[in-house]
Amino acid sequence: MAAALPKPTPGRRANRARIRFSPSGIHFFDRVSGTNFLIDEVTPPERTWAKGPRQVSIALTNACDLKCPYCFAPKTHATLSYDQVVSWLDELDLHGTLGIGFGGGEPTLHPRFTDLCFHGANKTGLAITFTTHGHHLDQALLAKLAGNVHFIRISMDGVGTTYERLRNRPFKDLLSRLAAVKAVAPFGINYLVNEDTVSELPVALNVAEDMGASEFLLLPEHPPNRPTGFTITTARSLHAWVIRYSGSLRLTISETGADALPTCNPLQPEKGLMSYAHIDASGVLKRTSFHTVGVLIAADGLLSALTKLNQQEL
């Protein structure tokens, strides 16, 4: 007699560990420790596969108080309502999504940002993360986020004067924010790679290690932003640096920049919208944040929009 499969945990209010069935196998995930465990010797029946994407990013607002020259976020005024986002979190939680990444714009400028983090962390079993420039992470905001967020991603494009030229903020202020963040939640550094920043990768990585980061995410500048942002020469420099890298800090890279690099993806069978989807600040569901078209999430819900988007040609 075949052994029974463990029961998946797509429902709301799951406390910590979750089980997701997919074509990759049986995926166990603990949102607090970040531990992932995959049994890929077993392929669950297709009828049991999670309906929600494994990961969804949500641009809470297009508002941002920085003006970085390489930013790809839309410049139109748009902010999602609290009720909209809560309904989507609940729906995604019900259908097996593991994690949500809030972004923007600058997500900390959303008027109910901390309320959304609280709902996600306490009313669902989703892992709640967000990406920020970091300069609003003062003690008051961090106190509200304590226990209500599982991972924080902080953008650091270049170091020292390069960072200050690109971000128009003091680099020392960023370092002080990083020192405070690690007492609240694990954090990683998002590092945009372009012709300005690629030469400073070794120094930036040392800074990340010294500040206690647990991950260093490489983000090659997306070509449509600026024709000269990520050149062939920059790509070659990045590739050579990655090949030589022997440090202890975990390196990750965006999917669009991973070509020709030695990456590992044990969840390869989860393709397209089964793996990832993005919701922009106007409530449009897209395949990624770089796509210009998508499906507006209507009153019939996010899963309905996901079905419609799946039916569109890539």
Given this model, what pLDDT does residue 16 score? 63
Q: What is the pLDDT of residues 108-164, one digit of tens each?
A: 999 999 999 999 999 999 999 999 999 999 999 999 999 999 999 999 999 999 999
Exposed (0-12), middle (13-18) or buried (19+): which is 145, by Cβ within 10 Å? buried
Query: For 92, left (φ over 0), alpha (ψ -120 to 50), or beta?
Result: alpha
* List of the chain residues with pLDDT < 50: 1-3, 11-14
93's tokens? 């939680």
End-to-end CA, the chain: 42
223's tokens? 């070509």
Residues 120 and 89 sit within 8 Å (Cβ to Cβ): yes
**Which superfamily is assigned to 17-311 in CATH?**
Aldolase class I (3.20.20.70)
252's tokens? 């990750």
Given this model, what pLDDT does residue 3 score? 47
Exposed (0-12), middle (13-18) or buried (19+): which is 52, by Cβ within 10 Å? buried
Given this model, what pLDDT does residue 13 score? 47
pTM given for the model: 0.92
Domain ranges of the chain: 17-311
